[in-house]
A = this chain, B = another copy of it.
Amino acid sequence: MIALWLEKNHLSLREDIPVPSPAPGEALVRVRLAGICSTDLELVKGYLPFTGVPGHEFAGEIVSINEANGSPTVINPSTGGGTSPATSARAVAESQKGKRVVGEINITCGTCWQCLAGRKTHCEKRTVLGILGRNGAFTEYLTLPVINLHQIPDSVSYDAAVFTEPIAAALQIQMQVHIRPGESVLLIGTGRLGQLIARTLALTGCDLKALARHENQKQMLASFGIPSISEENVHKGKFDIVVEASGSPAGFVLARMAVRPRGTIVLKSTYRGEQETDFSSLVVDEITIVGSRCGPFPPALELLDNKAIDPVDLIEARYGLSDGLEAVKHAARPGALKVLIYSD
Contact = CB atoms under 8 A, between A and B. Distances in A.
A289 interface: yes
B283 A268 contact: yes
A279 interface: yes
A218 interface: no
Interface in A272-304: 272-280, 282-293
Nearest to A123: B261
Contact of A176 (B47, B286, B293): B286
Q: Is the interface of A mostly helix, strand, loop or mixed?
A: mixed
B261 A283 contact: no
Contacts of A275: 276-279
* Copies of the chain in the assembly: 2
A288 B286 contact: no
A262 B118 CA distance: 11
A270 interface: yes
Given A261-B119, A262-B119, A274-B276, A267 B291 contact: no
A172 to B, nearest CB: 8
A151 interface: no
A158 interface: no
Interface of A: 47, 114, 119, 122, 176, 252, 260-262, 267-280, 282-293
